[in-house]
Structures are given as structure tokens and as C-alpha cells.
Amino acid sequence: MTTTFLTNARLIDPVALTDAPGSILVKDGLIAEVFEGDPTLPDGAKIIDCGGQCLAPGIVDIGVKVSEPGERHKESFRSAGRAAAAGGVTTMVTRPDTLPAIDTPETLEFVERRAQLDAPVHVLPMAALTKGRDGREMTEIGFLQDLGAVAFTDCDRVVSDTKVFGRALTYARSLDALVIAHVQEPGLSTGAAATSGKFASLRGLPAVSAMAERMGLDRDVSLLEMTGARYHVDQITTARALPALERAKRNGLHITAGVGIHHLTLNELDVADYRTFFKLKPPLRSEDDRIAVIQAVADGLIDCISSMHTPQDEESKRLPYEEAASGAVALETLLPAALRLYHAEMINLPRLFRALSLNPSRILRRPSGRLQEGAPADLILFDPDAPFVLDRTKLLSKSKNTPFDGARLQGRVLGTWVDGTRIWEGA
């Protein structure tokens, strides 16, 4: 393989939490050496002058929906892989909420074959926790884990039967398997399209209290105390849930948590006049919740930031707000949207990449997310200050349901490398 020397870079190191000039030597798909300052150019290497721009570990995105099998018209591995490369995502951790759900060895093998053939980035599939994601009967967790499933989740469906969920956690614990859950009290949250409050009342939207998230988390934490399983919350979006998360971590439970980028950068008022591209699950929260969750990311209480990439076609979005499908695409907007927090001086770049790259890798027990000798050369080069206005029609995803259409953003990906091979070159 080609030896590549990336020089004149601004290295964003999420392990050391440093932001400093340096260079990186890449050999055989791995980081061979990291240099501070301006070292002597090595003989025989392909030299890439980074022009003083930021060089960071590639983003590891937990919770990407690729609509194969079943809804390939919304997103395929080919289109999602291209969008990920353009967005600086070098590893997609894909959800099993497909048609049918990824709940058998056969569907898992199909997904792995398609990903290997069509996606230029790493794809780590998750499998369903219960058959059909119906919450009644466990999947064959051991077989699916042996075939490559990195985690088990029913995605946005809560396993409401506590006995079933407890048994699944106990079995996952025996296999040291990671369980990812969506924390909402299902009786309160079913049918909700907004968060309870004055705005939802004025708009006449069916709403759910922020306390539903806290109640769901409290139940799951109790089951963790009973089972000792490894457990990750897909999204913490409210201030009310944060004390429960902090107590669980302080008590030594194997719990981590993430948040979707839209809940860090948007609030309930962005729905405005029933704009369905802003309809998400859970629904957008208050500004106080948004600020509290950003602070939790900066403090490390919330471990990782993800895109929660959920492609929906035009027909499923161009409906009355209550009837429209939830979700938004975000593989290409994850980084520039996250850089809003950096430009607002709410979080610095090393801590931002700890949440985007390092912590997701740690949760999945992967060697990525680091600028260290021997780590995979999964890298992104980006200009954090480059301004642009997003045009959703130019997104590489098949579906174009982004709430950032027409928004002014900053941050462009200039290059993406996977195992030392350049898979994206930006303008």
C-alpha cells in the first residue's frame, strides 16, 4: 500500500484533548507515526499538504438507518456510503429497523454482503433485540453476535414488557453483548408529535412530557442494576433525564448515552408552521433542554453525538404534521451542524471529536477514533470555518429530508480516508 504523509495539519486529538500543529505518517492502512510541528519529509511517501486545516479521526456514527432491505428507494448502502464519505463519517453503525427487521442470520448476512460491495466506509451492523422488533421474544443474540452484529436494539420501539427486556439484558450480559435502547415511557409517548408546553398547545399538536424520557430511563437503570448488562441509551434529549444518568454512572453501572445532532442544534420552536422536516423521534425539545444537553456533552456525561440518520421519501413527509413520518437525514450535515457548537464557544474541537469519534469507538471496543501510532488510518481533513448555504437537492443521500435546507452552516470536509485510502476529496 502507498505510504502517505499528511503534513502542515492542525491535529485534533480527542485522547490528549489537544489542538496543535503536526503531521501524520500513514503506512499499510495504519497510522505509523504522529509528528509535532514541522518534521522532515520522509523519502518515498506521497505528500499531502493539509494547508493548516484540521485533521481528526473519522466520525464513528452510531444509529444510521440504511433502508436495505425493504425500502431501497429511500437509501441504499451505495448512496449512504457516499454521503458518509462526504460528511467525514468513516464508520456507520447501522440500525436494524428495516423491512424486514434484521433479526435473523440470513438478513444480517444480506446486509453485510451489500455493505461490503457498495459502501466505501466501514459498516458495523446492529441486530434487533426482539423478533420483528415486537418486544415479545428475544432474537438469537449469540448467533447474530457470532456473525458480526456489534449491538442489539429495537431502535425507537420500547420493549414495554419488563420481564422480556430483563431476560434479554440477562442473556446479553452472559455474552458480553451491547444493548442499545430508546428511553421513553411508551404509554405517554405513543402518538406524540411534540414536547408538552405552550408551543405544542398553541399549535394543537399531540404532545408528550419530557418526564416520559426520565421515566423510561429510570426503568432501564433499575433493570441494569438487576442484570449488570452493557447498555447504551440512543438519545438523551431532556434536562430531566440527566440526574438519573449521572447517578447510574456514579453507581458504576455499565451505561453510556448518546444524543442526536438535531437535538443539540434545534429546538421545538423550529417546527414553526408545521414543518415536517423538523418532526423527529423523540420530538424537538425546549431551548433549556437543548442547552442542558450540550453542557452534558461538554462535561462528558453524555458520551457521544450521532446523526440518527433516518431517510424518508417526499410522500411520507408531505403530510399533515401529525401524520408525517419522523426522522431526518444527517450523514452529510452531522459535522457542520456539530461545528455550530464550536463556533458558539460551547465546546472545543478535541472534546467535540471525543463525542463524535473516540467515545463511540470505545463503546464498540474498536481501535478507531484516535490519532495514535497503530490506530487505523480513518481520518478526515476539514475546514471548520468554510461557510456555505445548504441546498438539500445536492445531498448525496437518496432522501433529502433535512431540517437544514437553506441554513447557513460552517465546516466543509476536504478529505476522507478509510484504512489509509482516500475515499473523498472535497472542493
Set of cell numbers at residue 395: 445531498
Q: What is the pLDDT of residue 1?
A: 62
Q: Is the pLDDT of residue 255 over 90?
A: yes
With pLDDT > 70 as the criterion, what percentage of the chain qualifies?
99
pLDDT digits (tens, 9 = 90+) for 44-94: 889 999 999 999 999 999 999 999 999 999 999 999 999 999 999 999 999
pLDDT digits (tens, 9 = 90+) for 204-236: 999 999 999 999 999 999 999 999 999 999 999
Q: Which of 9-13, 113-117, 137-141, 188-192 has the lowest mean pLDDT?
A: 188-192
Contact call for residues 384 and 54 (beta carbons, < 8 A): yes
Residue with cell 442542558: 292
421-425 and 408-418 strand pairing:
antiparallel
Q: What average pLDDT does this structure show over 154-168? A: 96
Contact call for residues 102 and 152 (beta carbons, < 8 A): no
Domains of the chain, earliest start first: 4-55+377-386+407-425 (2.30.40.10), 57-364 (3.20.20.140)
Q: Considering the entire predicted model, what is its pTM?
A: 0.96
Q: What average pLDDT does this structure show over 298-324? A: 96
Contact call for residues 313 and 73 (beta carbons, < 8 A): yes
pLDDT digits (tens, 9 = 90+) for 321-341: 999 999 999 999 999 999 999
Tell me the torsion sign for CA atoms 189, 152, 335, 70: negative
Q: Which of 44-53, 285-294, 295-304 has the lowest mean pLDDT?
A: 44-53
Confidence of residue 37 (pLDDT cuts 50, 70, 90): confident
Q: Is the pLDDT of residue 8 over 80?
A: yes
Q: What average pLDDT does this structure show over 264-277? A: 94
In terms of pLDDT, which residue wins out, 36 or 101? Answer: 101
pLDDT digits (tens, 9 = 90+) for 379-424: 999 999 999 999 999 999 999 999 999 999 999 999 999 999 999 9
What average pLDDT does the chain have? 96
Identify which of 34, 16, 114, 19 has the alpha carbon closest to the alpha carbon of residue 349: 19
Q: What is the pLDDT of residue 39?
A: 77
